[in-house]
């Protein structure tokens, strides 16, 4: 019993595995087809010149088709109208030969029918055939309006038929035609009423239409071919600067960022594109140079404290272990340089996060006047060599990152402390304006020259290149302050005069 169950299980497993093979094959085939299709689409490339030609030729074809329809319709209407007028003239001519005798018009009917390849028949009031130009009279009948015979006017009928021999058993010059026009008129000959019927086989009309269609087709083909050739040459000539631009761009590398596109020649959108691309390259080159300068300055700033720490470490290793004075000096110097390195690295990380938009800005509601009071109080405790004042401090609520706004004010106040002589003043004021709140930090320090003023917010920039690290800092504080203010949709204005002092105006939107 157990053996039978195991055999059944094995059979089921075997069947499942066998059925799995086609499924896997189908999946692989689908994957292969999809891969081939994707590869084909990637390789498929249509040039701009080709697309322009296709669009232009399509427009020309559409215009020619529409124009041909109008011409053909107009010409067809003219031929139809001419046929109607000609049939009326035939009836007038035939009736002029009657002279009161119906048999007198038989000969004119035959002549006109042979000459113009028409079927002309005479019927009595009961629509019984009296005479016809056709040889097989038994197949001639009186046409009236029905499903296959559409009335154009009261006495005109337009007939379509698939078997033309049914309507014209003899003298059919155009067997391929399946349309004809019928004119029925009532005439009186010798006080007897008759019905005369003229059937126009429209052979000449179809021939003229064929000639017209052939001429239109030839004109369209010649026009399309001429458009293709002319458009291809013109588009290649117009897009030739694009090829030169592509070649130039391909040769631009990180070591050849000064390469620029040629903007001479044509006065069109391509020149505007070249100008735009050159402007982009200018910005890229400027950013690249700033990045290189940033890396160079950062390396330089870090190299100095590292060299100091390494020097004191070597000093301790040689003879400072047993010299208490050297030991204390080395420890103090190493701690100081470590703090400087830590501050520099934190500033670099802050700027790096700001460049990548990953620096967190946590906005809350707070009163700016309370923050200024706090900063002024802290500054007075830290700095006793300057006059720290707050003359005006109006109440206003901000929605901003309190710690970052405090950092901005601290940066400007620290700069004023560094560059203001002892007993000089530093004023921190705030007041509300229609645009928001304005905060000013004013000092009576050394001031900034006009040449240095536009660059003070650049990274690692120092107006006085002779300043030491203790007095000049790293040159990153003002860049950080500017980023924080801009992130809060604010502005910074700087007013400075050498030997007089500097005034920083910060404008922030209030809640």
pLDDT at residue 2, rounded to an integer: 57
pLDDT surpasses 90 at 503: yes
pTM: 0.49
pLDDT in tens, 315-356: 777 776 677 777 788 888 888 888 878 877 887 788 778 877
Per-residue confidence (pLDDT) for residue 165, from 0 to 100: 40
Kindly state the average pLDDT of the residues 256-265.
68
Q: What's the mean pLDDT when you consider all of the chain? A: 80
Cα–Cα distance between 58 and 388 in angstroms, integer?
79
Orientation of helix 48-95 relative to helix 203-238, angle to 10°: 160
Q: What SS3 state is found at 34?
A: helix
DSSP 167: T
Task: Determine which of 19-28, 203-212, 265-274 has the lowest per-residue pLDDT on average.
Answer: 265-274
pLDDT tens column, 368-380: 999 999 999 999 9
Q: State how far the Cα of 405 lies from the Cα of 323, in Å rounded to an integer.
A: 46
Task: Summarize pLDDT for 408-422 with one digit per residue, the tens.
Answer: 999 999 999 988 999
User: What angle, 0 to 180 degrees and rounded to 10, lies between the N-to-C axes of helices 477-487 and 402-419?
Assistant: 150
CA distance 106 to 97: 9
Q: What is the mean pLDDT of residues 69-83?
A: 88
CB-CB contact of 72 with 216 (8 Å): yes
85-98: pLDDT as tens digits? 888 888 888 888 88
Distance CA 478, CA 234 (A): 56
Do 293 and 458 meet the contact criterion of CB atoms below 8 Å apart? no
The residue ranking higher by pLDDT, 429 or 152, is 429
**C-alpha torsion sign, points 192, 195, 198, 199:** negative
The 10s digit of each residue's pLDDT in 114-146 is 888 888 888 888 888 888 888 888 778 787 765
**Confidence bin at 255 (pLDDT 50/70/90):** low
Residue 504 backbone dihedrals phi, psi, to 5 degrees: -105, 125
The three-point CA angle 234-238-240 to 5° equals 115
What is the reported pLDDT for 195?
87
Burial class (CB in 10 A: 0-12, 13-18, 19+), 184: buried
pLDDT at 444: 92
pLDDT of residue 36: 78
Which string of b and e fits 432-450 if b means at least 16 CB within 10 Å? eeeebbbbbbbbbbbbbee
Helix, strand, coil share (%) of the chain residues, nearest 5: 55, 15, 25
**Res 8: pLDDT:** 65
pLDDT of 150 higher than 70 = no
% of the chain surpassing 90 pLDDT = 21
Q: Is the pLDDT of residue 172 over 50?
A: no
Which residues make Cβ contacts (< 8 Å) with residue 281, sequence separation at least 6?
252, 257, 259, 260
More confident position, 426 or 306: 426
Q: Integer distance in angstroms from the first to the last C-alpha of the chain?
A: 86
Element (H, E) at 189: strand 179-189
Kindly list the structural domains of the chain, giving each domain's residue range(s) and its CATH number in brackets, ordered by start. 67-211 (3.30.450.20), 269-354 (1.10.287.130), 361-508 (3.30.565.10)
Mean pLDDT of 482-511: 91
Residue 452 has pLDDT above 50, yes or no: yes
What's the 3-state SS for 36-95? HHHHHHHHCCCCHHHHHHHHHHHHHHHHHHHHHHHHHHHHHHHHHHHHHHHHHHHHHHHH
């Amino acid at each position: 019993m157990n053996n039978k169950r195991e055999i059944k299980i094995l059979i089921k497993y075997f069947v499942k595995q066998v059925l799995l093979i086609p499924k896997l094959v189908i999946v692989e085939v689908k994957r292969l087809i999809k891969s081939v299709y994707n590869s084909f689409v990637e390789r498929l490339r249509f040039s701009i010149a080709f697309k322009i030609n296709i669009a232009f030729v399509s427009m020309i074809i559409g215009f020619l088709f529409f124009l041909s329809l109008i011409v053909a319709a107009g010409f067809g209407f003219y031929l139809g109208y001419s046929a109607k007028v000609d049939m009326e003239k035939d009836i007038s001519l035939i009736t002029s030969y009657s002279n009161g005798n119906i048999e007198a018009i038989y000969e004119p009917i035959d002549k006109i029918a042979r000459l113009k390849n028409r079927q002309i028949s005479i019927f009595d009031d009961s629509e019984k055939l009296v005479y016809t130009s056709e040889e097989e009279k038994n197949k001639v009948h009186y046409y009236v309006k029905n499903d296959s015979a559409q009335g154009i006017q009261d006495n005109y009928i337009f007939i379509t038929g698939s078997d033309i021999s049914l309507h014209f058993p003899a003298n059919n010059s155009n067997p391929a035609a399946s349309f004809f026009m019928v004119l029925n008129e009532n005439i009186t000959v010798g006080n007897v009423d008759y019905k005369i019927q003229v059937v126009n086989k429209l052979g000449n009309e179809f021939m003229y239409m064929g000639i017209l269609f052939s001429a239109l087709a030839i004109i369209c083909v010649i026009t399309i071919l001429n458009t293709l050739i002319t458009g291809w040459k013109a588009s290649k000539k117009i897009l030739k600067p694009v090829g030169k631009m592509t070649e130039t761009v391909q040769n631009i590398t990180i070591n050849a960022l000064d390469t620029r596109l040629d903007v001479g020649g044509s006065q069109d959108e391509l020149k505007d594109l070249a100008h735009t691309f050159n402007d982009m390259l200018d910005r890229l080159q400027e950013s690249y140079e700033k990045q290189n300068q940033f890396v160079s300055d950062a390396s330089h700033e870090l190299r100095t404290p590292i060299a100091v720490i390494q020097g004191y470490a070597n000093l301790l290793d040689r003879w400072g272990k047993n010299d208490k004075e050297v030991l204390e000096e080395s420890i103090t110097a190493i701690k100081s340089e470590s703090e400087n390195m830590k501050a520099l690295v934190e500033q670099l990380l802050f700027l790096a996060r700001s460049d990548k938009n990953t620096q967190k800005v946590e906005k809350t509601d707070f009163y700016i006047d309370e923050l200024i009071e706090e900063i002024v109080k802290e500054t007075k405790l830290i700095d006793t060599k300057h006059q720290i004042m707050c003359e005006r401090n109006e109440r206003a609520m901000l929605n901003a990152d309190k710690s970052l706004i405090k950092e901005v004010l601290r940066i400007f106040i620290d700069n004023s402390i560094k560059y203001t002589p002892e007993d000089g003043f530093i004023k921190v004021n705030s007041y509300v304006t229609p645009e928001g709140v304005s905060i000013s930090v004013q000092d009576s320090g050394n001031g900034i020259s006009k040449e240095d003023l536009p660059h003070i917010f650049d990274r690692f920039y120092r107006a006085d290149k002779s300043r030491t690290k203790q007095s000049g800092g790293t040159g990153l504080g003002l860049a950080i302050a500017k980023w924080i203010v801009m992130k809060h949709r604010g502005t910074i204005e700087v007013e400075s005069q050498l030997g007089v002092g500097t005034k920083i105006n910060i404008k922030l939107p209030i809640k």
